[in-house]
Amino acid sequence: MARRVIWTKKALKEKIGIIKYWINETGSSSYSKKLETKFRETIRNISDNNYLGKATDIEGVRLSIVSHYLLFYEIKRSHIEILTLFDSRRNPTDIELK
């Protein structure tokens, strides 16, 4: 059974920042639209198959890879919470989940 997915304010802000960055960087919304589609597909797959992503060292937190981005999410009793999006090309010590 598919669970409802909720984005934290932090994760939503990061996603919007990523989309805007690529629009500004490329001068087109084409890549941003493709990336947004990949995010949606991944979220839909996670909603249907909660344990699809890789387990992390933090209990209940899993990650899924979307292009160059790590999507961290937590499985809650009634929903799935998207915690953060992190560019995998950055320093991993900069990851903040909450």
The enclosing domain of 81 has a CATH number of 3.30.2310.20
What is the mean pLDDT, run by run of 10 residues, along the chain of 98 residues?
A: 87 93 90 93 92 90 92 92 85 61
Q: What is the pLDDT of residue 2?
A: 73
**pTM of the shown model:** 0.85
Give the structural domain span for 85.
4-94
Q: What is the pLDDT of residue 77?
A: 87
**Mapped to the 3 state alphabet, what secondary structure does the chain carry?**
CCCEEEECHHHHHHHHHHHHHHHHHHCCCHHHHHHHHHHHHHHHHHHHCCCCCEECCCCCEEEEEECCEEEEEEECCCEEEEEEEEECCCCHHHCCCC
Number of domains in the chain: 1
Q: What is the pLDDT of residue 93?
A: 61
